[in-house]
Amino acid sequence: MKMLVSMGRGGVGKSSFIALAAKYFIEAGETPLLLVDVDPDQSLGEMVGVDLKSAGILSISELLYETFLEEGGTAAGMPPSERIEVKIWEKGLYEGEHFDFMSIGTKYIEGCYCLPDAALKGALERLTKNYKYVLIDSPAGLEQLNRRITPKVNDIFTILDPSRKSFEHVKRAYRIIQSVNIKFDNIYLVGGYEFPDELGEKAEEETGLKYIGKIEYDEELRSYVLQGKSLLELPSNSPAYVSVKRILEKAGYISLKQLLFPES
């Protein structure tokens, strides 16, 4: 299993990056795939055509609340992390044709309950092992890093906007990740749709991290988001999609299909 995480300031394109990465892995046949929405705004669902409410799926926060605060944390028999894992399989996992989806939700982000935290960590560790790729969409704030729900990730894609603050954000994120001891293989810099590609080198100098390309501006993607259409349905030649594909390939996510049929 490999875990990919998006990061960056508000509105830079984190969620659309994750949606387009999902499109890439689905089209390459690199499944099973799990998408995890950590953002309380829950915009990733709409971007991949999932409506948790109408599917009757609860957020992880709701399940933690139900399991540990309503039912009490000390029911005999099953250890806490197994109890929450069972609940997630039952009511917290949207199982789609091409990918599964879960949302962390808000209560969890706002409150801090040590037992649920620890239980969730254990549950996620086991649950995510069932997938080839786990794609995590982060909120703009960095607070969620302190929770360390995922103590080990593979690649972190930090999306840049064209402001000084963007570089500061990356440096701060990097410090927090190290100080809370989240293990990772790579942190990549990615230019957001408004980021001038020429500044890639400067971004590298400022942060000491590797810049692996820019997400192209895409009018069609914008109108899809406005209409609430799934980005998975964007045409394969959509500029944003093509650029995300290139970025992932640069990060080493080259599918067998790509290797065998590079033109496709």
Residues of this chain that interact with ligand ATP (CB under 6 A) are: 8, 10-16, 39, 41, 43, 140, 193, 215, 217-218, 221-222, 225, 240
In whole angstroms, the minimum distance from the beta carbon of 15 to Mg ion comes to 3
Is residue 163 classed as helix, strand or coil in its secondary structure?
A: coil
Cβ proximity of 246 and 258 under 8 Å: no
Instruction: Fill in the per-residue mask, 26 to 65: x = in contact with Mg ion (CB under 5 A), - = not in contact.
Output: -------------x--------------------------
Closest contact distance (angstroms) between CB of 238 and ligand ATP is 9
Residue 40 backbone phi and psi in degrees, to 5: -60, -25
Which C-beta is closer to ligand ATP: that of 9 or that of 87? 9
DSSP 198: G
Q: How far, in Å, CA of 221 to CA of 224, rounded?
A: 5
Q: Which is nearer to Mg ion, 14 or 83 (CB)?
A: 14
Cβ-contact 38, 148 below 8 angstroms: no
Which C-beta is closer to Mg ion: that of 3 or that of 7?
7
* Residue nearest to Mg ion as judged by C-beta position: 15
Told to check if 15 binds Mg ion by CB under 5 A, we report: yes
181-191: buried (b, 16+ CB within 10 Å) or exposed (e) per residue? ebebeebbbbb
Region of 29 please: left (phi>0), alpha (psi -120 to 50) or beta.
left
Nearer to ligand ATP (CB atom), residue 90 or residue 219: 219
Shortest Å distance, C-beta 163 to ligand ATP = 14
- The minimum distance between CB 1 and ligand ATP, in angstroms, equals 23
CB 102 within 8 A of CB 147: no
Is 158 a binder of Mg ion (CB under 5 A)? no
- Polymer length of the chain: 264
- Which residues contact Mg ion by CB under 5 A? 14-15, 39
